[in-house]
Amino acid sequence: MLIDNHAEGEARTTEVPLTLATEHFRGYPTQLDGKSPGDLDYDYNRVSLTGPFQHQSGNYTRYGDVTELVKGIDDRYAIFGSGEEIATEFDASKLPALPAHWKRDYFFYANGYVKDMDWWDASPYTVTQLPFHGMSKYPYPQSEKFPEDADALTYQLDWNDRFDTGEPVRAYRFNYQPLPSSPADDASTCAGAGCATQQAGRP
């Protein structure tokens, strides 16, 4: 182990604004196992359109531009399932020039929820209950409920209208193939072979 005993260097933080977020089906990238257990990486350009996964039953956010839902922290968020992704673009054109001998690192911050389909999790086979920031715990008690004001209802009706039955998929086998992702793919509703993916991977 190497330890740097030098004085802490100066750091500056600049937020890079989100310009576009698109939800679509991507598939399952090839998993690369490192030398240590749990040391995982992924080859994002070799993707299988099928795999041993299925979706929870319920309403998901429609494919397409979801920038409005993910640009701030609130209870209007994008809901997506296994094999799907939200591709994001950021405007780095106005970042300040680096001083001599400096380097720039990027950190991605996300605020959201993850719901597994493990049998010991709460309601693992349905999209609901939907979590919200004001809940005391999850699953939350009957005395609490997801917001039902006019804005919340509009969000549910206008955005989360993609219903999935949760029925098993047709093919559980991985079939990896080269599917490089490009900015044009990321901005579409179906990345790479995404439109074909929908027919190949889901009933």
Task: Note the pLDDT tens digit of each residue in 19-57.
Answer: 999 999 999 999 999 999 889 999 999 999 999 998 999
Predicted pLDDT at 188: 65
Say yes or no to pLDDT of 197 above 50.
no
Predicted pLDDT at 199: 39
Across the chain, mean pLDDT equals 89
Span 176-187, average pLDDT: 80
pTM of the model: 0.85
**In the chain, what are the domain boundaries?**
18-91+105-201
Predicted pLDDT at 203: 35
Strands (E), the chain: 18-25, 28-33, 40-48, 58-60, 64-65, 84-90, 162-164, 176-178
Q: Nearest to residue 88, comparing CAs of 75, 116, 115, 69?
A: 69
Q: How close are the terminal C-alpha atoms of the chain, in Å? A: 51
Predicted pLDDT at 76: 97
Q: What single letter denotes the amino acid at residue 1?
A: M
Say yes or no to pLDDT of 160 above 50.
yes
pLDDT classification of 8: cutoffs 50, 70, 90: confident
Q: What share of the chain is helix, strand, coil (3-state, %, to 5)?
A: 15, 20, 65
